[in-house]
A and B are shown apart, each in its own frame.
Chain A
């Protein structure tokens, strides 16, 4: 589903964020990208979303080499990849319903389709009763659930999550992880950057540990802690 081949990203000024990373992520996998701040987790997510161009190497997402994707095709890539970020990235002037519907509006879906589809996904994330509220009227956990709903409403084959629990308390984080786990069970591939030990340890999924932009460990049903032990 996602394949990285000798990917390197060097930012202006010479900072090497990702250094010769190769990864294969299968359809339906749930993969944690772990590592300290500055290890290259978020950059890797941004590269997979073509929010940054690679310096060297190639990335395939859903069978397409996105490093050679022309500019005008980038929106199409993003429509097939749901994204969830630490700061939710919701449109403040739109209601919960409108925020989720926006992902479908962009695709040009008719209103008759948008309404039922949005309501269904809001049921899934448990926010059906708050569909007319604005983001500022919701708690952090609720805002992140809206963000997950928006990422999933289009039923994308892949979801990229960058520290989705970074701003949430442990209890709310567990709620979000349960939600992501449910989505993963529908066959959606999920790649999640995090440095939340408890979550990684509890989920027992594939763990890719990064340090200074390099993969230092890739373990099926791994734990967070082993990263430091292997060093």
Chain B
């Protein structure tokens, strides 16, 4: 226990002594992770918005009336059951002629002219409203419905723009993930570099430690703790900065009706934890990489004691 306390004390005192290098490492992690986390926030906003626009009906199949046009009674329900069995269909419901009229009346309740114009409510067809698992599958559903010529009068599908938005969102998500990976690697490399600088500045010290019999792990632990603390502090600053920026963005976007700019605190908490863990891991990994050069030659071929005989 006293040994562990000693190693922590060593790490903290080293952080104090090498303040400038430490600040450099923290800034490196902060910038990399703030950019990576920011990219994730933009992605989440895109996802939220595309999801909001996609909610509801994606495909509408207008049907011929039952009992006429060679459509036997019960054909609508039969088709509904079949549609529901298709794997790409999330949900489907039948809107009868009567319900269609009620819907029409609800939509145009403030427009008596429209209501007057529709003299015969029976002209409104029954329909099946379909919600898809993935909006990009609407062509498949359309094709399947069009095969049901006897029952299906016309098929309307979600506009191409939503599909394009979905594609754009996917591309941005991949880009965001790529960016996060690249910036994450950059954070590790920057920490490794910084730790290597710190070790270079203290190479004599490391050599003396080895001389009196300190094991590689004994030398390593304070540096690993340093890296861990630098990574954690940098990541915490990044999460905090992005959270503040996102909150301000949400406030500024309150008046916008078309877009949602507010992300739940729950998402922030979950993703923030991931960023913190990543920051800590990047710190430890960076330290290990930075140290490996100095410690791998512990069998006595390393640059320990100045050579000369």
Contact = CB atoms under 8 A, between A and B. Distances in A.
Interface residues on A, range: 35 or more
A51 B304 contact: yes
A103 B212 contact: yes
Contacts, number: 79
A26 B264 CA distance: 76
Interface string A192-215: 000000000000000000000000
Interface stretch (B47-55, B189-197, B202-210, B250-258): B202-210
A92 B207 CA distance: 13
B212 A46 contact: no
A102 B305 contact: no
A91 interface: yes
Contacts of B299: 50, 53, 71, 74
A75 B300 contact: no
Nearest to B304: A51
B300 A53 contact: yes
A179 B187 CA distance: 52
A138 interface: no
Nearest to A77: B213
Given A53-B300, A93-B17, A75 B213 contact: yes
B309 interface: yes
A52 B301 contact: yes
Query: Of B6, B207, B208, which is in contact with the most chain A CB atoms at under 10 Å from its CB?
Result: B208
B281 to A, nearest CB: 25
B290 to A, nearest CB: 20
B2 interface: yes
Interface string B293-309: 00000111100111011
Interface string A133-151: 0000000000000000010
A100 to B, nearest CB: 10
A52 B300 CA distance: 5
A74 B2 contact: no
A106 B218 contact: yes
Contacts of B3: 105, 108
Interface string A96-119: 000000110111101100000000
Contacts of A106: 209, 212-215, 218
A79 B211 CA distance: 9
A49 B212 CA distance: 11
Contacts of B208: 89-91
Nearest to A81: B213
B210 A75 contact: yes
A17 interface: yes
Interface string A22-65: 00000000000000001111110010011111000000000000
A85 B215 contact: no
Interface in A60-88: 71-72, 74-79, 83, 85, 87
A51 B305 contact: yes
Contact of A42 (B214, B218, B308): B308
A17 B210 contact: no
A41 B211 contact: no
A53 B300 CA distance: 6
A3 B223 CA distance: 37
A74 B297 CA distance: 11
B211 A89 contact: yes
Contacts of A150: 212
Contacts of B300: 46, 49-53, 74
Query: Of A46, A71, A102, A106, which is in contact with the most chain B CB atoms at under 10 Å from its CB?
Result: A106
B211 A78 contact: yes
Contacts of B210: 75, 78
Contact of B213 (A17, A78, A111): A78
A38 B309 contact: yes
Given A43-B309, A78-B211, A150-B212, A110 B304 contact: no
B213 to A, nearest CB: 4
The 6 tightest CB contacts between A and B, nearest first, are: A79-B213, A43-B309, A78-B213, A75-B215, A71-B299, A106-B214
Interface of A: 17-18, 38-43, 46, 49-53, 71-72, 74-79, 83, 85, 87, 89-93, 102-103, 105-108, 110-111, 150
9 contacts: A41-B309, A51-B305, A52-B300, A53-B299, A53-B301, A71-B298, A72-B215, A74-B298, A75-B213
